[in-house]
Structure 1
Amino acid sequence: MTVRIERDGCIGSGQCVLASPEVFDQDDDGVGVVLRPDPPDELLPRVRDAVHRCPAGVVALD
């Protein structure tokens, strides 16, 4: 599975980082970035939590 963020729509809430700091971070402008686009299976529950927490709906797991 692949994690992605539609950076143009990110509002910088940081919910993805709170849910899964091993997979997500924020750049200097507060925009979310994916650190591990193909996370191991044990992190997938936290990534799914990040998808559901994102208020802008720009975090996806494909």
Structure 2
Amino acid sequence: MFRQAIRRFTTSAVRSSHYEEGPGKNLPFSVENKWRLLAMMLAFFGSGFTVPFLVVRHQLLKK
């Protein structure tokens, strides 16, 4: 009885989903334009890499 209720719920949840299927469709950003994706990835990862160096420079130059 309990398993049947779970099975009914899970199959109805899958059917009622409104998302597109396919590679890259479940991402919060577009992967259609590879140059825009490259620029966004460089900005994202580059900022995470450079911020600590800028903070250290600021602290060293502060009087």
Which interval holds the TM-score relative to the shorter structure?
Answer: under 0.3
What is the TM-score with the length of structure 2 in the denominator? 0.22
The structure richer in helix per residue is 2
> Which one has a bigger Cα radius of gyration?
2
- Which one has more relative contact order, counting CA pairs under 8 Å at least 6 apart? 1
